Amino acid sequence: MKKLNVSILQFPGTNCDYDTVYAFSRLGHNTSIVWHKEESLPENTELVVVPGGFSYGDYLRCGAIARFSPIMKVLREYAENGGMVLGICNGFQILTEAGLLPGALKRNDKLHFISRHQHLKVVSCKNAFLNRFKEGDIINIPIAHHDGNYYVDEETLSDMEQNAQILLRYCDEDGKEMNVNGSVRHIAGICNREKNVYGLMPHPERAMESILGSSDGERMLEGFRYE
């Protein structure tokens, strides 16, 4: 099985960095923490993960300050050259703020922080991230966010639908789509047109062991191994 070199970005306020290290190390990958002021990635990087947390305390707007960190210039160049990037929760917010993914993450429609296990429906699996699943699979992954309400304009959304950029939707245990936080069309995860930059609000790194409620995150993160 392929072993990857995974670089995990760390900003002031990041709090899921070591959870992410644990998740990828559990799968047998090599991991490196990269501080946000660095101006380069480890030379052998094969996947960059922007983990969850509260970068810069979510001041101004989630991810809005982190996007100006020196490492983000490097990340943009890495992504534009075809490098694989995964943004989880606050990482997803940072990637949208940086323009690496379309749309924006707004305050949850009921203005509450949501923290629980949540069922998701796999919408598109012809990509590196979800290739271990089938379309229509129902999985159970924790969510923990206050600003997870995904928004994008209708024209862009239509293009995303046609290009199979919608990856995951919130649903109930039977697969019926549901409103969790106000996200347009119940979207929980997306990718860019080139399918090398991925973002989702749920936390697969917290779903690595069934004893903790779900191991579905393990299958998600395994996908990069088979890319």
Cα separation, 36 vs 66, whole angstroms: 8
Cα separation, 3 vs 78, whole angstroms: 20
Helix (H, G, I), strand (E, B) or coil at 85: strand
Closest to 18 in 3D by CA, of 9, 86, 207: 9
Cα separation, 56 vs 197, whole angstroms: 23
End-to-end CA distance of the chain: 11
Active-site residue identified among 29, 36, 145, 203: 203
| Strand positions, DSSP E, 29-83 | 30-35, 47-50
Q: Is 203 a catalytic residue?
A: yes
Helix (H, G, I), strand (E, B) or coil at 93: helix
Active-site residue identified among 89, 119, 171, 218: 89
Q: Show which residues are catalytic.
A: 89, 203, 205
